[in-house]
Amino acid sequence: RLFVRSLPALLTPLVIIGGIFSGYFSPTEAAAITVVYAILIDLLFYRELTFRRLWDAIYETCATSGAIATIIAGVALMGFVLAREQAPQQIATLFLSIADGPVSFLIAVNIMIFVLGAFIESLVILLIIVPILVPIALGFGIDPVHFGIIIVLNLMISILTPPMGMALFVVAQVGNIPFQRLAWGILPWLIPPLVVLVLVCTFPILATGLPGLMLQ
User: 144, 134 in Cβ contact below 8 A?
Assistant: yes
- Sorted by where each begins, the domain ranges of the chain are 1-49, 67-215
Nearest to 117 by CA among 167, 83, 172, 173: 167
Q: Which amino acid is at 160?
A: L
Instruction: Categorize the per-residue pLDDT at 16 as very low, low, confident or very high, splitting at 50, 70 and 90.
Output: confident
Mean pLDDT of 170-182: 81
Cis bond leading into 163, ω under 30°? yes
Q: Is the pLDDT of residue 79 over 80?
A: no
As a whole number of angstroms, the distance between CA 125 and CA 114 comes to: 11
Instruction: Categorize the per-residue pLDDT at 150 as very low, low, confident or very high, splitting at 50, 70 and 90.
Output: very high
Q: Is the pLDDT of residue 215 over 70?
A: no
User: 64, 167 in Cβ contact below 8 A?
Assistant: no
In the chain, what percentage of residues exceed pLDDT 90? 7
